[in-house]
């Protein structure tokens, strides 16, 4: 089956935007996790 998409650029942009939002959330969560591990590690070592 061959589909002809009317606005591929718009859909690609929307998808890219969604992925970008997800990546931002993931990076924030990773940053918090690293900060917690660093704080916990320093507390344990100190």
pLDDT at 2: 66
pLDDT 10s per residue in the chain (46 long)?
Answer: 666 666 656 566 777 788 889 999 999 999 999 999 998 877 666 5
- Which pLDDT score is estimated for 40? 85
- pLDDT score of 15: 74
pTM over 0.75? The answer is no
Q: For the chain, how many helices (H) and strands (E)?
A: 1, 0
Q: Which residues have CB under 8 Å from 11's CB, separation 6+?
A: 5
């Amino acid at each position: 089956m061959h589909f002809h998409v009317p606005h591929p650029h718009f859909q690609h942009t929307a998808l890219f935007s969604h992925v970008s939002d997800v990546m931002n959330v993931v990076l924030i969560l990773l940053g918090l996790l690293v900060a917690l591990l660093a704080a916990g590690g320093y507390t344990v070592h100190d």
